[in-house]
Amino acid sequence: MSHPASGAGGSGGTAMRRAAIAVGIFIALTALLFWLEPKDLYLWAKAMHVIAVIAWMAGMLYLPRLFVYHSEVAVGSPQSETFKVMERRLLRAIINPAMIVTWAFGLWLAWDGFGFHGGWLHAKIALVLAMSGMHGYLSGAVRRFAEDRNERSARHWRIMNEVPTVLMIAIVILVIVKPF
C-alpha cells in the first residue's frame, strides 16, 4: 500500500499537466474567438475573468481552512501527509493557474474597457495586489507545512481565512458600485 504523500491515485505532476492543458485550451479558445469575432472579445474576456476569479477565490478560501485542520494534527502523521498533498495540489492545480488567468484577463479588461482610469479601478487593483500578497503568504505556508515547519496555530489560520473574504467583498463592491 502506498503512502498518501507519494501521490497514489494520481500524481501532482498529472494534476499540473491537466491544469496547464486546461489553461492553454482556455487561452486558445479566447484567441480563436478574437480572431473570428473581435467585437465580442470584451464580453468573452470578462466571462473568462469572472470564471478565473471564482476559481481563485474558491482556493483562497479553502486553503487556510486546510491549514486550520493541518495545524491540529501531529507532524508526520498520516493525516498530516494527506494534508500536504491536498494543499500542494490545490495551490498548483487550481489557485496558481486561476490567479494567472485572473490577472491576465483583468489587466486586459482594465486597459480595453477603462484605459486604466477611474478611482474605483485603482482601488480595485490595489486590493487585488493585496489578494496576490495573501496568495504569496499562503504559498509560503504550503511550503512550510510540507517541510514540517509550520509555527502558526489553528487560531492564526482561522483569522487568515477571513482575509480573502474581506478583500473579495471590497473588490466586488468597487466593481459593481464604482463609488468613485
pLDDT tens for each residue of the chain, 180 residues long: 444 444 444 566 777 788 788 778 877 877 787 777 777 788 888 999 999 999 999 999 999 999 999 999 999 999 999 999 999 999 999 999 999 999 999 999 999 999 999 999 999 999 999 999 999 999 999 999 999 999 999 999 999 999 999 999 999 999 999 999
Spans of all domains in the chain: 11-177
Amino acid 179: pLDDT = 96
Give the C-alpha separation, 90 to 83, whole Å. 10
Amino acid 68: pLDDT = 98
Buried b (16+ CB within 10 A) or exposed e, 71-110: beeeeeeeebbebbbbbbbbbbbbbbbbbebbbbbbebbb
CB 45 within 8 A of CB 105: yes
Closest CA to 49 of 93, 126, 128, 104: 104
Distances (CA, A) of 56 to 3, 9, 150: 29, 25, 23
Amino acid 31: pLDDT = 77
Task: Report the C-alpha dihedral over residues 86, 89, 90, 92, rounded to 10 degrees.
Answer: 150
Amino acid 66: pLDDT = 98
